[in-house]
Each structure stands twice: as C-alpha cells, then as structure tokens.
Structure 1
Amino acid sequence: MRYTDIAIVGGGLAGATAAAMLGRAGIAAIMIDPHAAYPADLRCEKLGGTQLPRLRRTGLDEEILRATTLDGEVWEARFGFVVAKRPSDQHGVMYDTLVNTMRAQIPPGVEILYTKAVEVATSDERQCVVLADGEEISARLIVLANGLSISLRHMLGLQRRVISECHSVTLGFDVAPVGRPTLPFPALTYWPRRVADRLAYLTLFPIGSTMRANMMVYRPTDDIWFRKFRENPEATMRAMMPGLDRMAGDFKVVGPIKIRPADLYVTENHRQAGVVLVGDAFATSCPAAGTGTDKVFTDVERLCNVHIPNWLATERMDRAKIDMFYDDPVKTECDAWSTAKAWHLRSLSIDNGLTWRIRRWARFVGRLARGLTRSSEKSGMLPAASMSRTNSHEGRLA
C-alpha cells in the first residue's frame, strides 16, 4: 500500500492543475490517470477574459500562456456585417495541449500513476483507492477530478441530477482560405441573424498557423441538420450566416468535424467525509457560455490554496471540513454565475419572446456603438462606409 496526503483521481485539466499546485506547495500527492499523454478531446480550446485572472491565481499561468496563440483583435459580426473590431485577449489552444502543458508543471515529488482507479472507500480518517492492478493507496483526502466518469461516484452513493439534457452542442473544426494564404481577420465572432437557426455563435480564432472554428448550437442530437453539416459544412454555414463570404472570402472546412453535446447536471449527496469533487465531476457548465475553465480554475485554486493546507493542519477529514469547500463564497459565486450565463445565452439565442427580442437588439446596438466609437477614435472620424452599410441594412430577428 502507498501512503500519501492527497490522492487525485483524474489527470485532465482539473486534476493536473491540482497536482501541480499541491506539488509546488510541498504537499504529498499522487495523481491517477490511465493516459500517459492526455488524448485529443473537444473541450476548452481558448482562454481569455475572466479565465486569465483565475488561471494566474493558480501560479501556473506563464507556461500555459506560452503554449497558446493570442489573437490580439476580434471582429464581431451580425446581420452579415462587421459591427465592431475590438482588442482581444483570447488565447487559442487545443485541449490536449492545454492539459499536457499543465501536466509538465507537476513537480517530480508528485507521483503519477498511469492506471485506473476501480474502487474507493472513504471515512473520517483515511481514504482508500484501489487501482486496476489491485494496488491500494491510502490517503487523507481523495480529490475526484475524473470529469464525466460515473463509476466511482456510484460507489460513494453520489447521484447526478440532470438540469438540462443536451443543453447545447459544440462543433469543432478547422477552416482554411481558398486561393490565398490567410483569412482577412485575426479572429471573428459571428452572432446569429434568426432564432430559427438555433445558433449561439460561430467563433474563428488562431491556434498556431491554423484557424480553428467552434460553432455553438441548440439542437437535439438526432436533428438531421448535423448530417447536412457533415456532408456540406461550407454551404450550411453560408446559409445560416449571410455575409460570411464577404468577411472571410472563399473558405473550406478541413480535417475532421467533431461534435460534442453537453448536458447541464449537478452532483448530489456530495457532502461526504474524505472526498471532494472538482470541475465537471461536481457540476457541468455550458461550453457555449464558456465558463467551464472558470469553474475548474476556481475550484482547484480555492481547494489547493485555501482549504487543503488548513485541513491538513489538524487531524481527521470529516464532513465539517469538506463543507468548507462547497460553501466557499468564491466557489459558490462562480458556480451560480456559470449556471445563470448558460441559461441567459440560450434564451438570448433562441427565445422569440418580446423581452428577448428587445435584448438582442439592445446587444446589437451596444456592440455597434462601441465598434463605431473605436473606429472613430482610431481614424479621427466616423467611417462613412460603416455608417452607410449599417443604416441601409434592415436585419430581422425572427
């Protein structure tokens, strides 16, 4: 039997971040994951906005950001026209690169076991993790960071409550220009014209020399639309997004098209001695809302910077200690914000009620005003072409 303070089950972004933070703090930890190198997966593919300060609080940001591609500027489009060009701090990175870069920051003092955890048992004192080869690990605390996997949670009597089945679907693919070396923009976000298209947005952003696309839609997985998209993605995109050709020029989708539906769920009966759940193991987020990485970095930062050092200073690992993590105001605020943003974006994209129609128009006008202000500040005068295009076009949200 191996002995340690913390056994981390799962070596994705949450587990690798926890292992790196605990190792740097000199806390004995073992990370368990079957993959020696994390495989390709359609998950977070860029970092930016609120995610950057959360990442910095882990102390692991420098190496992570070096592995990314900064876009620097994003064009925002609606009704077939570019309404704003604004500075951007979005850093593109494939998820396996993100996780493997985080793993590279795990200090040698943290042992990594490339195998599966097949059994867990918990108590107020020490916890037991049984590995696939029969070896056992005794730890003071188990951190479940194994994402959507449910087998170990069932052993502990944890239950998953689905809040919204197939809340959104993400499509990931690469886009290449035809007949020229690059697309005309550093990055592009295209907002939908009609609620009938059930589109949240299309975002195009660089990862290395490749232009990556994430397209977020609200459709059931058996919708025939997905088959049509696979058969002719370029035509499907042009039909949904008029004016895309004018902004991007001729383009083609290259490489595989990956599709990932996402349920919103929370874990119940989770307040138990000896074990905490972080990231998707505790509750999922909507990829379209882009808050999943916020939740991961918040969970792990609070756990490793605040709670684990305090818990290890005294005996036992009872429920009273575990409650401190789940009741942490920084964590609960992030969780509530993530859920609210998921529902807000869905309604803003596909709800045809008067209130949401007004909100969509208000958002469009706000973005347009900010775009014209930035443009006028850059050039010293309001560009006539932009004004003429905007005033002459009558878009409809239907």
Structure 2
Amino acid sequence: MRQFDVVIVGAGLAGSMSASMIARAGHSVAIVDPNEVYPDEFRCEKIDFGQIEVLHRAGIGDAILTAATHDKSAWVTRLGRLVEKRPSDQLGIDYGRLVNTVRAQIPEEAVFIRGKVTGVENSEDLQRVTLASGESLAARLVIMASGLSNSLRQSLGMDRKDLSLCHSVTYGFDVEPEAGGSFPFRALSHYGEHPRFRVAYLTLFPIGSRLRANLFVYRDLGDPWLRAFRAAPEETLKAALPRLESITGPLRVIGPVKMRPIDLYETSGYRQPGVVLVGDAFATACPAAGTGARKAIVDAERLCNGFVAQWLATPGMGAEKISEFYDDVVKSGSDRKSQALAWRMKAMALDESAAWWLRRWASVGVGLARWASYALRSIRVDGVKPARETVRDRTQEAPSELKDQAISAAGQI
C-alpha cells in the first residue's frame, strides 16, 4: 500500500490547486481523478482580478492570466436600459482550460492516479483510500474535492442538506451579430427586464476570438420554457429580453447550447478526523451569483496556505485540527457571502414587492451615476492624467505587477 502525506480525491479546480500548493511545499501528494486531461465541461467561464489575486497567493496566477481573455470594458443594462459603460476586470476562460492550466502547475513529484475512489476509511492517525482497481492508498490527510458526487460523503456518515432544489439554470452558448461584423461592446451584462420573465441576467464576454454568452434563469426543470430555449434559442431569448436587441442589434446563436441546473446544498457531519471537504464537495454556489469559482479558489488557498503544513508538522489528524479550516474567518466568510448572494440575486430577479422594485430602480440610478463619473474622469484636462487615474482606480484589487502594466499602458493613450 503506497503511503502519502495527502491524498486528494478529484482534480477539478479546487483539487488541482490543492495538489499544486501541497507538492510545492515539499509534501508527498497523490491525486486521484478519472480524467487524465480534464474534459470540456460547462461550468465557470469567467473569473476576475480579485480571484487572480488569490491565485497569485497560490502561486498560479500568472499562468491563468496567460490562458484567459481580459474583457477590458463592459456595458451594463438595468430594466432594459443602458445605464453604464465602464472599465472591467473580468477574464473569460473555458472551465476545462482553466483546470488543465492549473494542473500544468502541479510539480512532477506529485503522483497522478487515473482512477476512481470507491471508499475512504478515516481515523485520527492514518486514512485509507480504496480505488476501483483494488489498490489502496494510505495518507495522513484526505482532501475531498470530488464535486457534486455524494456517495463517498454518505459512506463517511456525512449528509447532503438541500437548501434549494433547481435554484437556478444556466445556459452557455456562443453568439455573433446576425448581419456580420462585430458588436459595439467588448462585454455586456444585461439584467432581467421584468420579474415575469424569470431572468437573472445575460452576460456576453470574449473567450479568445469568440463572444460567449451565459444566461441565468430561475425555472423548474419541468418548465416547457427550458425545452423551448434549447429548440429555438434566438426566438426564446428575444421574448425573455425584448429590449436586448436595441442594445446588441440582431444576434445569432452559434454552436451547441449547453445547460446546467444547480441545486443549492450544504454538507452536515463534516467535522471528522483525517478528511476535509473543499469546493462543491462542501457546499454548492449559485452560478448566477458568480461565486462558484471564487468559493473553490478561496477554499483551496486557505486550506493549503493556512493549515495543511501545520497539521502535518504535528502528530495526529483529529477532528479538532480539521475544524480549524472550517472555522477560518476567510473561508467561512466566503461561504456566507456565496449563499447570501444566491438568495439576493434570485429576489432581485423575481420579487415583485415594492421594496425590490425600489432596489431595481436604485440600481439604475447607481449605474448612471458611475457612468457619469467615468465620463468626467476621462475628459482630457491636462494630457493623459485622467486616463491614468481611471486605470489606476480599476486596478486597485489587481496584483502590483498588473497595476504597473495597466498604468504604463494608460500613459501611452
């Protein structure tokens, strides 16, 4: 039986990040995943500079920046009206490419095992991981980054607690102008025009030379609307967002239309010796709230930068050690924010009470005020100074080297 400091079950975003960080810290690690190359899976397709900052702390930020496409600027609509044109700090990247880029940062010393984990036996000292091939691995710590799969958690006595079944549905597809040419924006966020349409928002953003679309709606799986969208996406989209065409002009959906429903759940009974859960294995996030990738990234960075090394430096792997991670103020704050945003986004899209209509119209005013502020700061009063200030304002959360590059570029405008 091969023995390691850490065995990681699942090599998606959180698992691959964890493997990279633990191996670079000098610990022996094995990663078990069915896919030698991560497949083209419809999940997160955008990250931002705030997440890049966390990835820099994990030592892999530069690689992700090279692989992703920065949108640079974006238009924003509220209630069907264009309210804002602003600089943007978001980057488009296919999820498969994101994970494979992270995997490429894992040191060669780490052992990758292509296979499936069928069982985990945990204790306060040594954990045993059984593979479908019949092989067993021993480790002091097991990191469960197994995504939505529930069987291993159930075998350990952990329960899935459903918070909201089919909380939202996400569609992904590419678009292009119907008449050819290009759109008048690099990226667009078009929020739902009325609660009766049950749309959170449509976001358009570049990935390489493609313009990608993610549409977030609140519909039950049996709703005929979902089938109608798959069958006739342009017509169904136009009916759900009737003012969209006044912003984009006629558009055409190209390539396959992918759909992903999401259940909101959290795990109970997770404070156990020798096993720690990260990402979706611990709790899901709503894609419409934009916190899924952020939560996974924060989980992996906090676990591996804050706890794994000190846990391995002392004997035992009891539940009191594992609980330190779950109680970490950054990790727990990330979880609370993710869940709160999931419910807030849904209420903003669907709630027809006076209070939520007031919030919607307030968002129109806030967007217009920001647009006016950007416009004023862009007026050339004395050469390039306002442009330099605008870029500086939009890179406050970026790593220092990105700030320097952005400010340098602004000086050449």
Q: Which residue number corresponds to residue 110 of structure 1? A: 110
Matched residues in 2 for 1:81 and 1:281: separation? 39
Shifted more, 223-232 versus 85-94: the winner is: 223-232
Q: Which residue number corresponds to residue 10 of structure 2? A: 10
Query: Within the alignment, does 1:86 sit opposite 2:86 as a pair?
Result: yes
Q: Deviations 1:100-144 (Å, cap 9, x if unpaired)?
A: 110011000100001001111000110000111111100000000
Aligned partner letter, 2:35: H
For the 8 Å contact 1:44–1:94, the answer to whether it is kept is yes
Deviation at residue 65 of structure 1 after TM alignment: 1.4
Deviation at residue 214 of structure 1 after TM alignment: 0.3
Q: Which residue number corresponds to residue 262 of structure 1? A: 262
Query: Within the alignment, does 1:250 sit opposite 2:242 as a pair?
Result: no
Report the 3-state secondary structure (helix = DSSP H, G, I; strand = E; otherwise coil) of the residue aligned with 1:143.
strand
For the 8 Å contact 1:79–1:242, the answer to whether it is kept is no
Deviation at residue 81 of structure 1 after TM alignment: 3.2
Q: Which residue number corresponds to residue 74 of structure 1? A: 74
Q: Structure 2: which 5+ residue stretches go unaligned?
A: 382-413
For the 8 Å contact 1:5–1:140, the answer to whether it is kept is yes
Report the 3-state secondary structure (helix = DSSP H, G, I; strand = E; otherwise coil) of the residue aligned with 1:162.
strand
Q: Which residue number corresponds to residue 389 of structure 1? A: none
For the 8 Å contact 1:118–1:132, the answer to whether it is kept is yes
Report the 3-state secondary structure (helix = DSSP H, G, I; strand = E; otherwise coil) of the residue aligned with 1:264.
strand
Structure 1 segment 54-203 matched on structure 2, within 5 A: 54-203=54-203
Matched residues in 2 for 1:119 and 1:300: separation? 22
Deviation at residue 241 of structure 1 after TM alignment: 1.9
Q: Which residue number corresponds to residue 35 of structure 2? A: 35
Matched residues in 2 for 1:170 and 1:243: separation? 20
TM-score with structure 2 setting the length: 0.90
Matched residues in 1 for 2:274 and 2:78: separation? 50
For the 8 Å contact 1:264–1:284, the answer to whether it is kept is yes
Structure 1 segment 41-56 matched on structure 2, within 5 A: 41-56=41-56
Query: Within the alignment, does 1:338 sit opposite 2:353 as a pair?
Result: no
Q: Which residue number corresponds to residue 357 of structure 2? A: 357
Q: Deviations 1:131-178 (Å, cap 9, x if unpaired)?
A: 111111000000000000111111101100001111111111111122
Q: Which residue number corresponds to residue 210 of structure 2? A: 210
Matched residues in 2 for 1:372 and 1:235: separation? 34
For the 8 Å contact 1:191–1:202, the answer to whether it is kept is yes
Deviation at residue 366 of structure 1 after TM alignment: 0.6
Deviation at residue 40 of structure 1 after TM alignment: 1.3
Q: Deviations 1:30-83 (Å, cap 9, x if unpaired)?
A: 000010111111111010153232222212100011100000000112343321
For the 8 Å contact 2:311–2:317, the answer to whether it is kept is yes
Aligned partner letter, 2:142: I
For the 8 Å contact 1:92–1:205, the answer to whether it is kept is yes
Report the 3-state secondary structure (helix = DSSP H, G, I; strand = E; otherwise coil) of the residue aligned with 2:316.
coil
Matched residues in 2 for 1:181 and 1:69: separation? 20
Shifted more, 47-56 versus 232-241: the winner is: 47-56
Q: Which residue number corresponds to residue 280 of structure 2? A: 280
Report the 3-state secondary structure (helix = DSSP H, G, I; strand = E; otherwise coil) of the residue aligned with 1:303.
helix
Q: Classify 1:380/1:64 alpha carbon distance in 2 versus 1 (closer, same or farther; 3 Å).
A: closer
Kindly, what percent of the aligned residue pairs are identical?
A: 48
Deviation at residue 379 of structure 1 after TM alignment: 4.8
Report the 3-state secondary structure (helix = DSSP H, G, I; strand = E; otherwise coil) of the residue aligned with 2:289.
coil
Report how many residues are paired.
Answer: 381
Report the 3-state secondary structure (helix = DSSP H, G, I; strand = E; otherwise coil) of the residue aligned with 1:14.
helix
Aligned partner letter, 1:322: I
Report the 3-state secondary structure (helix = DSSP H, G, I; strand = E; otherwise coil) of the residue aligned with 2:169.
strand
Q: Which residue number corresponds to residue 21 of structure 1? A: 21
For the 8 Å contact 1:165–1:262, the answer to whether it is kept is yes
Aligned partner letter, 1:181: G
Q: Which residue number corresponds to residue 289 of structure 2? A: 289
For the 8 Å contact 2:79–2:360, the answer to whether it is kept is no
Matched residues in 1 for 2:265 and 2:179: separation? 45
Matched residues in 1 for 2:241 and 2:204: separation? 13
Matched residues in 2 for 1:49 and 1:244: separation? 28
Q: Deviations 1:330-379 (Å, cap 9, x if unpaired)?
A: 11111111111111111111111111111111111111121133234435
User: Could you say what the CA RMSD is over the residues aligned between the two structures, in angstroms?
Assistant: 1.3
Shifted more, 239-248 versus 318-327: the winner is: 239-248
